[in-house]
A = this chain, B = another copy of it.
């Protein structure tokens, strides 16, 4: 007979979900109300405003999609592309490849711009592709690659898109609230994110924002959006503040309570302070990782502080290390993904997970587990190196 599930208490330092503030899970546990209740409509308006703050945008169409980040990605592609369209897609990790899948499943053509995994997207290659394909409709790239931890220059890439009369479509699932992101300042036309990274909310919702140019494209399509569930022409009728709300789908009410609370916390912290916090604790983690003798996949200049791809010492079975961390320390770190599977660990410092306690726990535990396994590392140095950073 099945019975109530009691999850173990983990420390979440993988690529997401990150640790969730009890205020957020507390909010999610409040009584459910109707998705058309005036009180819920008021909450929706607040969520929109708070998302505008987090994205730094005045875009009216800034809303949470009622499904995880991969549905957020899909909502951008299926609304902006029509069969026969052409899109330039940058790939420097797993999620650029997923973008390609989305483009092709829309019946559109993907012109791929490839960069090495762990490197940022190269604007020169992008410009060459845009020049070679003047009929391209949009440029899609990942601001913060969750599979590698590389940050690309979203401002420069978005400007290039406009220079060649394309829309810019940006994945910032891992970027939002962790590193600088300025949707209006950088003139990003469409962007999607997730809740379970630097917002430190449970997974399940995907914040998106569409600028005026993108909304015009969506409104003037000649074919219907292939997804009924993600058709922004219909979704707008439910989320638009003007006039009444039209039922489209039943919003995940309690998940929206959680998202709201996580955004309230972000506003209390302040966006700039949140970015600074991620940069600061990354310094301490990096000092410890390097003191152990381990390396990073991504050069410091392009490294996301919230997602650290760390190389695995020679001869170490990486899955055994993760299992030992989970079983002996209740600590989750992430495996490598795609081309980096088996080659790196991904250590997340996202939102609530980005704190001194977690940095010291992670370094101490990793040091101990690797030492126990006889891995070729400089044992016993990592925690002190991080402490030195904290001591200033």
Q: Which residues does A use to contact B, with CB under 8 Å?
A: 1-10, 12, 14, 16-17, 19-20, 23, 25-35, 37-40, 43, 46, 49-50, 66-71, 73-74, 98, 101-102, 104-106, 194, 196, 202-205, 224-229, 247-255, 257-258, 260-261, 263-264, 267, 326, 332, 337
Copies in the complex: 2
24 contacts between A and B (CB under 8 A): A1-B267, A2-B50, A4-B264, A5-B30, A5-B260, A8-B33, A12-B34, A16-B250, A20-B31, A20-B32, A32-B202, A38-B326, A66-B67, A67-B229, A70-B228, A70-B229, A73-B229, A105-B226, A105-B227, A105-B228, A202-B253, A203-B251, A254-B258, A255-B255
CB pair B29–A26 under 8 Å, yes or no, is yes
Give the shortest distance, in Å, between A212 (CB) and chain B (any CB): 25
Give the shortest distance, in Å, between A259 (CB) and chain B (any CB): 10
CB pair A267–B2 under 8 Å, yes or no, is yes
Residues of B within 8 A of A332 (CB): 33-34, 37
CB pair B254–A224 under 8 Å, yes or no, is no
Given contacts A27-B5, A252-B204, is CB(A37)–CB(B10) below 8 Å? yes
Give the shortest distance, in Å, between A275 (CB) and chain B (any CB): 20
Return the contact of A257 from the options B5, B49, B226 (Cβ within 8 A). B5
CB pair B10–A254 under 8 Å, yes or no, is no
A29 to B258, CA, bound (A): 10
CB pair A2–B202 under 8 Å, yes or no, is no
The secondary-structure label for the interface of chain A is loop
CB pair B194–A228 under 8 Å, yes or no, is no
Give the shortest distance, in Å, between A247 (CB) and chain B (any CB): 7
Return the contact of A247 from the options B225, B227, B255, B337 (Cβ within 8 A). B337
A4 to B229, CA, bound (A): 29
